[in-house]
Amino acid sequence: MSIVFDQVSYTYGPNAPYQALNQVSCTIELGSFSGIIGHTGSGKSTFLEHINGLKTPSSGKVLINGLDTSNKEDKKDIRKLVGFVAQNPEHQLFAETVFDDIAFGPLHTGAKEEELTSIVEKSLRRLEVEPTAELLASSPFDLSGGQQRRIALAGILAMEPQILAMDEPLAGLDPQGRQQVLKLCQKLNNEGITIVMISHSMDEIAEVADHIIVMNKGELIEHGRVEKIFSEPEKLKRLGLDIPEASKYYFELKKRGVDLGDFVYTLDQLADAIAAYKVGGVDGI
Amino acid sequence: MAFKVTIGQFYNTKSIIHKLDPRIKILVSFAFMVLVFFADSIVLNVYIALALLALIYLSKVPLKVVLKAIRPVFFFLVLAGLMNLFFVQGGNVLANLGPITISEAGLNAFFIYTFRFLFLVVAGTLVALTTNPIQLTDALESMLSPLQKLGLPAHELSMMLSIALRFIPTFSKEAERIIKAQSSRGADFESGNLIERVKLFIPIIVPLFASSMRHADNLANAMDARCYTGGEGRTHYRELAIDKRDITALIICAIYLLVFIALKIYL
């Protein structure tokens, strides 16, 4: 059971000047947390939109748990299986109350009326929001930006997806909000949800993802474990991409004769490695 | 789901017609439309048609594009033509099909009115095809400015119009994104009965409305931050100016008009 891209190409119409996706093949295992990195126009978003069948391949196949996204009959099942978090998901809020907005997804995928209350409350709790009667009855437009994003996420979680495709879920949030949402993503991944996330921040990807997909000009350049991708900064640099801050320190220290041992890519790992570093039996640098 | 909007009908190319002052184009096309109503003989209609064909040729807009632009009115054109053909009576009867009789006057009306209408549409379309929307709104402002003394907010009107035009592509993109987001949440825009489909417009319209408010707010702030104030004493990035080319065009039009009058009187 996994997400399989088999020789997927996508073009915008027959006269499009370029291919948005070019012969992309990869397998994303269920339960994993994959980060997609690449420049604007590299095909990241197009790739993501293929996962829940918003776009279907011009040629090739996308299989989600064995379901072909090109297959019209399977569309509803795939949409239920894959939650899609668009950029600025709070911009899709529309209903009069928070409750109605969160219930929109389940209602359209066949949930029963009497189950709705428990579904809505459960999905809010998963995002660490207390579903008070006051909140549920308020208008989503009266909430703060960070709250709105959580409500929008709850609306997607309410469909109980097994896979979340997220297009820059942290964009436009303040540092605190970014940390909170990032933590929530990690929590959801720990609960067993497969996450595929586009991000421009290598540090944030490094913190949560276990795999990385590198895209450039519609092609999948590399797909591998985080530590492997980030341990080859020259390759990324050629594509105009960066490595996490922690890895930069790792390489810079190495250049100056301080070998921290195993490769690190998060600040926590870096701190631990520096703390554990011994020079000739003496603690610290 | 395809959700495409083209802004106006502007066909971007370089031609003498494109370079003409938009005010000249608007004025001449209005005059031309009035002229069309005075063309009541075959010769005059051919004369009108020749002018339009020459203009299309000079504008370098492919004939195919012009035909495509007038396609929406084509049905109306045919319908109106047939009405004339069947219901205008007079002169010799040419054919008798059961209850319907086609008379000489009817046939005459069919040709005159169908072509008259076609000419009107083509003349208007040509202006739209050869003038970019921003120029059109500038021209509108310039032509309405004399009315400012009577209290008509000419600058504000054209500003509104150009902002509206500017945001059409933005909102069509936004609508596409919202449709994607809502269909990811199980909304099915491609099947279901009429009532279900109409209900599904709410999850699109409301976010779109919210986003237009957001855009309006941001734009107002941005304009305020640059000390934007309304029309009085405001200059333009591109000033409209009548040059030699426009004068030449006007002279040609005047000659055309004189020939038209001569044809009308002596034929």
A27-38 pLDDT, tens digit per residue, is: 999 999 999 999
pLDDT of A280: 57
Contact B182 A92 (CB under 8 A): yes
Contact A86 B177 (CB under 8 A): yes
Instruction: Say whether both A114 and A47 belong to one domain.
Output: yes
Helix or strand holding residue A46 (H, E): helix A44-51
- Segment B97-111, tens digit of pLDDT: 777 778 888 888 888
Task: Using pLDDT thresholds of 50, 70 and 90, give the confidence band for residue B1.
Answer: very low
Instruction: Tell me the shortest Cα–Cα distance from A48 to chain B, in angstroms.
Output: 12
Judged against a pLDDT cut of 90, whether residue A120 lies above it is answered with yes
Mean pLDDT over residues B170-184, rounded? 89
Instruction: Say whether both A55 and A28 belong to one domain.
Output: yes
Mean pLDDT over residues A252-267, rounded? 88
d(CA A161, CA A155): 11
Task: Using pLDDT thresholds of 50, 70 and 90, give the confidence band for residue B8.
Answer: low
Domain segments of chain B as ranges: 16-131+240-266, 145-225
Nearest residue, CB atoms, B203 vs list A79, A83, A94 = A94
Mean pLDDT over residues A96-106, rounded? 93
d(CA B23, CA B162): 16
The burial of A164, by beta-carbon neighbours within 10 Å (0-12 exposed, 13-18 middle, 19 or more buried), is given as buried
Task: Using pLDDT thresholds of 50, 70 and 90, give the confidence band for residue A97.
Answer: very high
Interface ipTM: 0.81
Instruction: Say whether both A158 and A264 belong to one domain.
Output: no
Q: Which CATH number goes with the domain that contains A88?
A: 3.40.50.300
Task: Kindly report the average pLDDT of chain A as a whole number.
Answer: 90
Q: Which residue has the tokens 């519609």?
A: A218
What is the C-alpha radius of gyration for chain B, rounded to an integer number of angstroms?
Answer: 24
- Segment B133-164, tens digit of pLDDT: 888 888 988 888 888 888 888 888 888 888 88
Judged against a pLDDT cut of 60, whether residue B4 lies above it is answered with no
Helices (H), ranges, chain B: 16-19, 22-38, 42-59, 63-87, 104-130, 133-144, 154-184, 194-199, 202-225, 244-266
d(CA A99, CA A134): 10
Least confident of A138-142, B105-109, B222-226: B105-109
Contact A92 B187 (CB under 8 A): no
* B120 to B55, B84, B109, B127: CA distances (angstroms): 14, 17, 16, 11
List, in order, residues 6 or more apart from B39 with CB less than 8 Å away. Answer: B45, B47, B48, B116, B119, B260
- Segment B46-82, tens digit of pLDDT: 999 999 999 999 999 998 888 888 888 888 888 888 8
Instruction: Tell me the shortest Cα–Cα distance from A79 to chain B, in angstroms.
Output: 6
Mean pLDDT over residues A110-125, rounded? 90
> What are the strands, taking DSSP E only, across A117-252?
163-167, 194-198, 211-216, 219-225
Helix or strand holding residue A6 (H, E): strand A2-11
Q: Are the beta carbons of A165 and A1 closer than 8 angstroms?
A: no
B234 or A123, which is more confident?
A123
Judged against a pLDDT cut of 70, whether residue B216 lies above it is answered with yes
pLDDT of B112: 84
B235 or A57, which is more confident?
A57
Instruction: Say whether both A159 and A281 belong to one domain.
Output: no
Q: What is the percent of chain A with per-residue pLDDT over 90, rounded to a whole number?
A: 60
pLDDT of A162: 93
Mean pLDDT over residues A118-131, rounded? 92
Judged against a pLDDT cut of 80, whether residue B175 lies above it is answered with yes
- Segment A166-224, tens digit of pLDDT: 999 988 888 888 888 899 999 999 999 999 999 999 999 999 999 999 999 999 999 99
Instruction: Say whether both A178 and A84 belong to one domain.
Output: yes
Domain ranges, residue A155: 2-243
Q: Does B1 touch chain A (CB under 8 A)?
A: no
B246 or B192, which is more confident?
B246
Judged against a pLDDT cut of 50, whether residue B30 lies above it is answered with yes
Mean pLDDT over residues B218-223, rounded? 94
pLDDT of B76: 87
Task: Using pLDDT thresholds of 50, 70 and 90, give the confidence band for residue B89.
Answer: confident
Q: Are the beta carbons of B142 and B112 closer than 8 angstroms?
A: no
Task: Using pLDDT thresholds of 50, 70 and 90, give the confidence band for residue B7.
Answer: low
Instruction: Say whether both A234 and A261 belong to one domain.
Output: no
What's the number of domains chain A is made of?
Answer: 2
Nearest residue, CB atoms, B185 vs list A49, A91, A104 = A104
* β-pair type (A82-85, A163-167): parallel
Instruction: Say whether both A53 and A67 belong to one domain.
Output: yes
B170 in helix, strand or coil?
helix
Residue in chain B lying closest to A76 (CA): B186
Closest by alpha carbon to A189, among A33, A41, A48?
A33
Instruction: Say whether both A170 and A69 belong to one domain.
Output: yes
Instruction: Tell me the shortest Cα–Cα distance from B112 to chain A, in angstroms.
Output: 42
Q: Are the beta carbons of A181 and A127 closer than 8 angstroms?
A: no
Judged against a pLDDT cut of 80, whether residue B6 lies above it is answered with no
Judged against a pLDDT cut of 70, whether residue A271 lies above it is answered with yes
Q: Are the beta carbons of A139 and A116 closer than 8 angstroms?
A: no
Least confident of A11-20, A106-115, A139-148: A11-20
Q: Does B178 touch chain A (CB under 8 A)?
A: yes
